[in-house]
Amino acid sequence: MAEQEAGKHVSELMIFLGAVIFVTGHPCHSRQQIMYAAENRALRGFAYANKTVRSRVICARECSMDERCKSFNFVGCNKMCELNFATRREHPEDFNTAHRGSVYFDADEDTPLYSLIDSSASRYKTCKMLLDAGYRSSCIYTIYPKAFGNDSLRVYCDMETDGGGWIVFQMRQDGSVDFDRTLAEYQSGFGNLSGEFWLGNDNLVAVISDPSPGLWQLRIDLGNWEGETAWEKYEDFRLSPDTYNLQYWQYEGINTNGDSLSKAKGQPFRKCSPSLKGAWWFPQSCFLGDIDSNLNGQYYFDANAGYDQAGPRLCWTLLDNVFIAYAYDVRFGLLLP
């Protein structure tokens, strides 16, 4: 397995060299340069441009066409091509850590000596374990939660927010996915891991049923159309297996006077009347005045769209200083401490 992997890298490298030798730049001056790969490495902090491209060969072409480009990182899982204005030789201190899933290129002949080859076909249980193993890009990864036995789960890992290592279980950013779904759909999950999605209550329960990584934390990040952002964080996040009752211990956030989940705490995950969009930890009364959050509510595309009341609308109320998420960006995360 490990040998096969290594062999694959070598053949990719050879194809790559063949492809790049003849790359020319601007018609007036062509740069012909061979660039060498260091696998599972990246130079961070010197990118002057990031582009999404199909492959490392195209990333190399982008680099060769730009005088400023001295080296580049290509991240496989999100096809991100990061063009750098510096090299590993100039900044060895910014190169030393492992960046699994990324490949670094520059024109120094010793570059391949810095490759890290992953010999253990490890099965990571959480995003935090992936982060600790050197996966530093926010991407879709496969994890192997204990409760899944030999099965795996594809998840989006946020490797940047608050130290990184978060399993994202909900994302809303452009209103492209309809969240007004049946309870069965909320149980199994829906949407698009690269865009907007709900990971699924049953997946969530399975992931957090494993206490061995430690207490699970819940983090919520929000932004509204006025450009305000907010976050809140909860300790010891739990869901009961049957009705998904929400439990947590403490919380902290930007506004410590108010906890916008306080009325959802202890409630089962449910649907109310059709006018209350989505499903959430709504209070049993389903009374609008009792609802202080519904991150699965109706998404509005801009600040001028007709707002309905909090409840049907995607909403999050920080007591004290009412913060309503006319959201452009909302995510939940999970982490182990």
Ligand X SMILES: *[C@@H]1O[C@H](CO)[C@@H](O)[C@H](O)[C@H]1NC(C)=O
Site residues, ligand X (CB under 6 A): 47-50, 82, 149-150, 176, 192, 194-195
| Minimum gap (Å) between residue 173 Cβ and ligand X | 7
CA distance 298 to 279: 11
Q: Cα separation of 43 and 63, whole Å?
A: 15
Please identify which residue in the block is written with the tokens 């946020």: 158
The residue among 149 and 274 lying less far from ligand X, judged by its C-beta, is 149
* Residues 33 and 60: beta-carbon distance below 8 Å: no
- Could you give the C-alpha distances from 69 to 4, 29, 83, 233, 241, in angstroms and in order? 32, 15, 6, 40, 52
Question: Which string of b and e fits 91-112 if b means at least 16 CB within 10 Å?
Answer: beeebeeebbbbbbbbebeebe
Residue 322 neighbours by CB under 8 Å, 6+ apart: none
Distance CA 13, CA 117 (A): 14
Q: Minimum Å distance from CB 48 to ligand X?
A: 6
Distance CA 212, CA 269 (A): 25
CB of residue 155 to ligand X, shortest distance in Å: 15
Backbone phi and psi for residue 60, each to the nearest 5 degrees, phi listed first:
-65, -40
Identify which of residues 157 and 324 has a Cβ nearer to ligand X in the complex.
157
Nearer CB in complex with ligand X: 74/186: 74
Between 44 and 270, whose beta carbon lies closer to ligand X? 44
CA torsion sign, 123 to 125 to 127 to 128? negative
Residue 320 CB, shortest distance to ligand X, in Å, is 34
Which CB sits closer to ligand X, 46 or 237? Answer: 46
d(CA 121, CA 215): 26
Q: Minimum distance from CB of 137 to ligand X (Å)? A: 7
Residue with smaller CB distance to ligand X, 131 or 324: 131
- CA–CA separation, 170 and 211 (whole Å): 22
Provide the minimum distance between the beta carbon of 335 and ligand X in the complex, in angstroms, as a whole number. Answer: 19
Q: Which is nearer to ligand X, 48 or 287 (CB)?
A: 48
Minimum Å gap between C-beta 165 and ligand X is: 16
Whichever of 44 and 238 has its CB closer to ligand X, that residue is 44
The upper half-sphere exposure of residue 231, i.e. CA atoms within 13 Å in the direction of its Cβ, equals 11
Please report how the helices 56-64 and 2-20 are oriented relative to each other, as an axis angle in degrees rounded to 10: 30
Closest residue to ligand X: CB criterion: 195
Residue (197 or 244) nearer to ligand X, CB: 197
Q: In the bound complex, what is the minimum distance in angstroms from residue 276's beta carbon to ligand X?
A: 26
Return d(Cα 77, Cα 59) in angstroms, integer: 14
- Minimum distance between the CB of residue 296 and ligand X, rounded to whole angstroms? 18
